[in-house]
Structure 1
Amino acid sequence: MRMSAMSFEETSRILDDAGGALHYHEAGSGETLLLLHGSGPGVTGWANFGNNLPVFAKHFRTLILDLPGYGKSAPVEGMPIPAAVDSVIRFMDRMGIESAHIVGNSYGGIVGAQLAAAHPDRVKRFITIGGIGVGILSSFPGEGLTRLVDFVEQPSKERLVAWLHSMVFDKAILTEELLEMRWKSSTDPVTMETSKKMYTRQALEAIAAFGRGPDAVQGFAYLPKIKAPTLIAWGRDDRVNPLDGALVPMRLIPNAELHVFPNCGHWAMIERKAEFENLALAFLTRD
């Protein structure tokens, strides 16, 4: 495929089987690189990684997957994270992918980490952009999650804008076109139902209570099981998952390294696009 032909339509594909439709974008050749998006209103694989596709496709067979209930992928039953892990494995099996490099942003980082821990033979190298953090100094929930719940429980364009402002360091990247696109896709009934499974005040209160309880260690007990070389990328100014959350996974994942982007919020692959791509390529192609 020509590098100039990285449009949504030309790279869009559907894998449809008994487990439900999974929508993805594909470009490039070589080793497989699987990109997993974050969560929240209006999120899709293309929204998170579409602008990174031309760069990665020069080096890898690059696949951007819409996780279940997002974009054009059908929802599935069960709790979102385990169901998403199962769907990624199903996708890899159906696509004939024995193992792949995985890059995940936020929710996609959690899904990728859980997959790498449970199926170490399926993940070559793993990059998480936020996502898998365990807060040790900052309060929970942070500003970004609080504003996300505000929107999910009572959707309005003003609350959507407030949430998106908490996601980034430089608000100038939130163009009117992006805001309109997010508003249109965020009010899709399927997407909203997916968000409601995770982002309610009761759910966050339960997570906070669990984190204070005697079994809190179970929330990150899977991290040492990640055998793949791991790059933890984080925005210094992340107001969704604050930077101190990177310390526990950096210590517990056996072969992990941490890179912090200054003047960057929750979307390093967007806000620090060129720097993130250079960092990711150096890590993924390292001998």
Structure 2
Amino acid sequence: MDVTYEGTKREIATGKGVLRYHEAGQGPPLLLLHGSGIGVSGWRNYRGNLDVFAEHFHCYVLEFPGFGVSDPVDGHPVLTAGSSVIRFMDAVGIESAAIIGNSMGGVVGVNVAMKHPERVSKLVTIGGVGPNIFSQNPSEGTRLLQEFADAPSREKLVRWLECMVYDRATITEQRIEERWETARDPESHRTLAAMYGSVAFEAQQKAMADSVAPPYWSMMGKVACPTLLTWGRDDRQCPPDMPMIPLRLIPNAELHIFPKCGHWAMIEAKQAFERVTLEFLLR
């Protein structure tokens, strides 16, 4: 069920533009960080879960810069998302919080936990974290994102959305239309192209090959907070071999894999995801 929280949308000015977010509930702070992809937003990732988490936590669903909601800033979307988390926490007066991050949001959460360990009390990731070990790279989902980024069409959007889930019935006309509406926003598409366009993707691969700096996932031993890795067994965007290295490197990590579930565990395995995540956060 999609919950519409009237009056939860907020915005706050920072030194690098306005950040927008949804706020609900009372209790310890919980940040919900969205993923990347076509027409994505924090609200679309978590609107169906907010009522459950808001019963226990003061929830903040942050909209990252450059995805068509918060003000864009210069830089790579993953890096600007990470800095926006600290800017947001400072702006609203949050010293430390639990974090839930979907896909890219999980990568952002891991990086914040490594660079600012005092700011993250617990971390829950939903896919996305770690390297491909046995599966192809780029994955099927990433290849579909690249095709859309290079030449957008509604048909390509539908193909990618269906790749995100185990049950295609999850992809309703409402989901398609709202994603398509946002995907046509020039700023949103620039961000997508900067991450997944074939030119940008090749440049990123070359930069990684030439870099002397280790990849972020190789340093995950620095994540000091308790961490729950959640995954869909049938994830075709970030296949389920990826969490093996995070599970080994993060000192206090555990893994839960949901059957008959794709990339969006918080949507497709909604009740099970909420139950497992709440048990972890309230433990």
Contact 1:114 1:222 in 2 (8 A): no
Decide whether the 8 Å contact of 1:41 with 1:187 is kept in 2. Answer: no
**Identical pairs, percent:** 51
1:57 aligned onto 2:35: no
Q: Which residue of 2 is the match for residue 34 of structure 1?
A: 31
Worse-matched range after superposition: 148-157 or 76-85: 76-85
* Structure 2 partner of 1:260: 257
Q: CA deviation at 1:10?
A: 1.6
Matches within 5 A, 1:197-276: 197-206=194-203, 217-276=214-273
| Pairs within 5 Å for 1:136-215 | 136-206=133-203
1:44 to 36, 41, 44: 41
Normalising by structure 2, report the TM-score. 0.95
Aligned to 1:3: none
> Tell me, what secondary structure is at the counterpart of 2:14?
coil
In the alignment of these two chains, the number of paired residues is 281
Q: Is the 8 A contact 2:68 2:187 kept in 1?
A: no
Alignment check: 8 A CA contact 1:133 1:241 kept: no
Give the alignment of 1:8-27 within 5 angstroms: 8-27=5-24
- Between the aligned partners of 1:96 and 1:169, the Cα distance in structure 2 is 39
Deviation at 1:190, TM superposition (A): 1.0
Structure 2 counterparts to residues 73-92 of structure 1, below 5 A: 73-92=70-89
- The equivalent of 1:68 in structure 2 is 65
Could you report, residue by residue, the CA deviation over 1:163-198 in whole angstroms, capped at 9, with x for unpaired residues?
111111111010111111110011111111111111
> Kindly tell me: are residues 62 and 256 of structure 1, through their superposed partners in 2, closer, same or farther at Cα, counting changes over 3 Å?
same
Report the residue type matching 1:228 in the other structure: C
Determine if the alignment matches structure 1 residue 116 to structure 2 residue 144: no
2: distance between equivalents of 1:216 and 1:203? Answer: 19
Counterparts of 1:210 and 1:197 in 2: how far apart (Å)?
14
Deviation at 1:135, TM superposition (A): 0.8
One-letter code aligned to 2:243: A
Aligned: 1:279 with 2:264: no
CA distance in 1, matches of 2:210, 2:134: 16
Q: Which amino acid aligns with 1:159?
A: K
For residue 9 of structure 1, report the CA deviation from its aligned partner: 3.7
The letter of the residue matching 1:62 is C
The alpha-carbon deviation at position 208 of structure 1 amounts to 5.1
Letter in 2 for 1:253: I
Q: For structure 1, which segment, 95-104 or 128-137, has the greater mean C-alpha deviation from structure 2 after superposition?
A: 128-137
Tell me, which stretches of 5 or more residues in structure 1 are unaligned? 1-5
| Alpha-carbon distance in 1 for matches of 2:213, 2:259 | 30
User: Structure 2 vs 1, CA of residues 253 and 51 (structure 1 numbering), >3 Å: closer, same or farther?
Assistant: same
SS class of match (1:149)? helix
Q: Distance in 1 between matches of 2:156 and 2:142?
A: 12
| Whole-angstrom CA distance in 2 between matches of 1:209 and 1:142 | 18
Q: CA deviation at 1:206?
A: 4.9
Query: Partner residue of 2:128?
Result: 131
In structure 2, the CA distance between the partners of 1:220 and 1:199, relative to structure 1 (3 Å rule), is same
TM-score by length of 1: 0.93
Shift of 1:21: 1.0
Instruction: Tell me which amino acid in the other structure corresponds to 2:102.
Output: N
Task: State the Cα distance separating 1:212 from its structure 2 match.
Answer: 7.1
Is the alpha carbon distance of 1:213 and 1:236 closer, same or farther for their aligned partners in structure 2, counting shifts above 3 Å?
farther
Secondary structure of the corresponding residue to residue 234 of structure 1: strand
The worse-fitting range, judged by mean Cα deviation, of 11-20 and 224-233 is 11-20
After TM superposition, give the deviation of residue 17 of structure 1 in Å. 3.0
Alpha-carbon distance change, 211 to 139 in structure 1, aligned in 2, over 3 angstroms: farther
Q: 1:248 to 1:206 in 2, by over 3 A?
A: farther
Aligned 8 A contact 2:227 2:253 in 1:
yes
Q: Contact conserved, 2:193 with 2:200, CA < 8 A, in 1?
A: no
Which structure 2 residue ranges, 5 or more long, are not aligned?
A: none
* Cα distance in 1 for residues equivalent to 2:195 and 2:265: 23
SS in structure 2 at match of 1:136: coil
